[in-house]
């Protein structure tokens, strides 16, 4: 029996580091997951241990090459954003992999925005709300201003997905999906780096941009022992949110909005190309850039966290396990009761839970509406935790009666998106049409 052709996908999250082998039908045929202990930076702030992460990538890749049931055709990477690995001329990191949650000095932040037009103007141009270290360009600016000797040691600052690719290819590139994700680096109206990147000399630390659909050869050391050494290629990696949208962009041509739900519920509209307004920025809107290089207007809502905290309170109040919330079925009569506000106090967990979701949905509808404006969206897809929540899905369908609303399910959407981005370089078959499972809600 001949070996099965596969692609290797590394999907690096803050908590879990995963690797998958996908066959040409995009089915997962092998997988492994691991958590790596954090370390601390020079100030004692928790951060990713870049040495342990690098060793894990090399170790896992060496292992999958020993799996003789598979022939590796390609490798690609997806990882969380807002994270730079600053490497020296020897290819080794010269700083810790700083945590994007690390507090940013107020004085340095004020100096930066005062120098470049103020927070409002700058945020509109870069589609980046003022988020401190979560604006990854600000991390590089901080090193330049606070540690000039360390800054001089940096040859290139690679976003995490591109650093992972560099580990196996030896090639240093930048990727537009990482650059375009609230980094403060990109001028969306002019479609190139913002003026400050050139004026501060930051451009010298940024590797050349390469398209997310392009591939490079795997380094000979990385290919060693593989049965397909001559033809193996690697993608340059993608930002995880952009990678997760690729299956939808490849499957649907008519305008749609994707609501990706987790701790944050992010409504993303890849068909809304209208520049961000001041009002939208103030309501927590931003822009991503798709793997095709196009702006994706997005709005954020902290709804998953609000739901989690609300369920804990209800569980304590009604003496239920918090998991009980997942068993609550949608009841339109209870929704009507809640909306008429006839009940001053909820009689049971079911009533209280519907009231919680009704409150969340009023915010969700307003958040999603921000990215719908000016576009002829036909469908809304919901993935993540709320896609499995009957009450949420029925209320979302009611909130948008003129748009088809679907719960969507894609096993490991981020990894599949990274594989789809370089499909033509490793897969001899047509892209499958059944990657996404959909459930329609009236």
Q: Is residue 327 part of a domain?
A: no
Q: Does one domain contain both 162 and 104?
A: yes
pLDDT of 23 = 96
Whether 333 maps to a domain, the answer reads no
- Band (pLDDT 50/70/90 cuts) for residue 384 is confident
- Angstrom CA distances, 331 to 313, 318, 334, 335, stand at 21, 19, 5, 7
Residue 221: predicted pLDDT: 56
Mark whether 105 and 18 lie in a shared domain: yes
Q: How many CB atoms lie within 10 A of CB 331?
A: 17
In a domain, residue 309? The reply is: no
Kindly state whether residues 231 and 251 are assigned to the same domain.
no
Q: Determine the Cα–Cα distance for residues 217 and 146; give it in Å rounded to an integer.
A: 37
Token readout for 200 is 């501060």
Of 199, 214, 236, the one marking the end of a domain is 236
3-state SS, residue 389: coil
- Which residue, 403, 44, 120, 47, is CA-closest to 259? 403
Most confident region among 14-18, 197-201, 295-299, 382-386 by mean pLDDT: 197-201
- Residues spanned by the domain of 394: 241-304+354-409
Same structural domain, 386 and 364: yes
Say whether pLDDT at 59 is over 50.
yes
For position 408, what pLDDT does the model report? 95
289 and 178 both lie in a single domain? no
Question: For residue 210, what is the DSSP state?
Answer: -
Is 10 within the bounds of a domain?
yes
pLDDT tens-digit profile of 355-380? 999 999 999 999 999 999 889 999 99
The CATH number for 385's domain is 3.30.420.40
Residue 343 has pLDDT above 70, yes or no: no
Query: Does 224 share its domain with 300?
Result: no
Domain end position, chosen among 206, 236, 266: 236
Instruction: Identify whether residues 269 and 191 lie together within a single domain.
Output: no
Average pLDDT of the chain, as a whole number: 93
Asked if pLDDT for residue 22 goes beyond 90, the answer is yes
Q: Provide the angle, in degrees to the nearest 10, between the axes of the packed helices 136-146 and 106-115.
A: 100
**pLDDT score recorded for residue 228:** 44
Specify whether 169 is located in the same domain as 298: no
The 3-state DSSP class for residue 184 equals coil
Say what the pLDDT of residue 224 is: 57
One domain for residues 60 and 175: yes
Task: Please name the helix (run of DSSP H) or strand (run of DSSP E) that holds residue 304, with its range, or none.
Answer: helix 303-318
Query: Region 72-80: what's the mean pLDDT?
Result: 96
**Phi then psi dihedrals of residue 26, to 5 deg:** 65, 30
Token pair, residue 52, equals 């342990």
At 243-294, the pLDDT tens digits run: 999 999 999 999 999 998 888 899 999 999 888 888 998 888 999 899 999 8
User: CA-CA distance, 263 to 158, in Å (whole number)?
Assistant: 27
- Looking at the structure, tell me whether residues 205 and 245 fall in a common domain: no
| Whether the Cβ atoms of residue 414 and residue 240 lie closer than 8 Å to each other | yes
CB 431 within 8 A of CB 420: yes
pLDDT tens for 290-312 read 999 988 999 999 999 999 999 99
- Specify the number of domains making up the chain: 2
Task: Say if residues 396 and 382 touch (Cβ distance below 8 Å).
Answer: yes
Whether 92 is covered by a domain: the verdict is: yes
Residue 18 has pLDDT above 90, yes or no: yes
Cβ contacts of residue 327 below 8 Å, gap of 6+?
none
Q: Are residues 245 and 230 in the same domain?
A: no
**DSSP label of 93:** B
Q: In this structure, are 68 and 216 located in the same domain?
A: yes
Over residues 311-340, mean pLDDT: 95
Mark which of 220, 236, 252 sits at the end of a domain. 236
Predicted TM-score (pTM) of this structure: 0.89
If you average pLDDT over residues 183-206, what whole number do you get?
96
pLDDT in tens, 123-156: 999 999 999 999 999 999 999 999 999 999 999 9
In angstroms, the CA 428 to CA 304 distance is: 40
Q: Would you state the pLDDT for residue 222? A: 62
Per cent of the chain over pLDDT 90 is 84
Q: Does a structural domain hold residue 48?
A: yes
pLDDT at 282: 87
pLDDT > 70: percent of the chain: 97
Kindly indicate the confidence band of residue 97, based on its pLDDT and cuts at 50, 70 and 90: very high
β pairing state of 437-441 and 17-22: unpaired
Torsion angle, alpha carbons of 433, 439, 440, 442, to 10: 180
Q: Which residues on neighbouring strands pair with residue 230, listed in sequence order?
A: none
Helix (H, G, I), strand (E, B) or coil at 256: strand
- Kindly state the average pLDDT of the residues 325-347: 89
């Amino acid at each position: 029996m001949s070996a099965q052709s596969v692609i290797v996908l590394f999907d690096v999250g803050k908590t879990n580091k995963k690797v998958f082998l996908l066959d040409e039908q995009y089915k997962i045929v092998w997988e492994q997951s691991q958590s790596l202990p954090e370390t601390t930076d020079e100030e004692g702030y928790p951060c990713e241990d870049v040495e342990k992460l690098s060793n894990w990538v090399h170790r896992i890749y060496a292992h999958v090459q020993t799996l003789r049931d598979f022939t590796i055709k390609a490798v690609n990477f997806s990882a969380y954003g807002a994270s730079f690995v600053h490497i020296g001329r020897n290819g080794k990191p010269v700083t810790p992999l700083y945590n994007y949650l690390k507090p940013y000095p107020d004085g340095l932040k004020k100096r930066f925005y005062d120098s470049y037009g103020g927070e409002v103007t700058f945020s509109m141009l870069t589609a980046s709300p003022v988020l401190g270290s979560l604006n990854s360009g600000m991390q590089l600016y901080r090193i330049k201003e606070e540690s000039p000797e360390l800054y001089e040691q940096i040859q290139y600052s690679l976003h995490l997905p591109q650093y992972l690719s560099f580990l196996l290819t030896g090639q240093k590139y930048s990727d537009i999906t990482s650059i375009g994700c609230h980094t403060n680096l990109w001028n969306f109206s002019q479609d190139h780096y913002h003026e400050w990147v050139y004026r501060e000399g930051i451009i010298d630390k940024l590797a050349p941009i390469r398209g997310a659909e392009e591939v490079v050869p795997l380094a000979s050391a990385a290919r060693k022992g593989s049965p397909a050494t001559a033809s193996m290629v690697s993608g340059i990696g993608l930002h995880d949110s952009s990678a997760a949208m690729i299956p939808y962009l490849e499957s649907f041509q008519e305008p749609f909005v994707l609501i990706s739900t987790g701790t944050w519920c992010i409504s993303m509209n890849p068909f809304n190309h209208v520049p961000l307004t001041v009002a939208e920025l103030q309501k927590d809107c931003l822009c991503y850039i798709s793997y095709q290089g196009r702006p994706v207007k997005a709005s954020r809502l902290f709804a998953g966290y609000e739901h989690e905290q609300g369920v804990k309170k209800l569980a304590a109040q009604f003496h239920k396990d918090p998991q009980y919330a997942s068993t609550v079925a949608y009841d339109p009569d209870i929704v009507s009761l809640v909306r008429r506000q006839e009940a001053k106090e909820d009689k049971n967990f079911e009533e209280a839970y519907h009231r919680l979701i009704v409150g969340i949905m009023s915010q969700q509808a307003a958040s999603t509406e921000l990215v719908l404006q000016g576009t002829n969206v036909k469908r809304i897809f919901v993935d993540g935790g709320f896609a499995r929540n009957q009450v949420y899905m029925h209320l979302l369908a009611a909130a948008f009666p003129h748009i088809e609303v679907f719960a969507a399910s894609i096993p490991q959407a981020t990894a599949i998106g990274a594989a789809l981005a370089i499909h033509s370089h490793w897969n001899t078959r047509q892209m499958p049409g059944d990657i996404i499972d959909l459930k329609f809600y009236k």
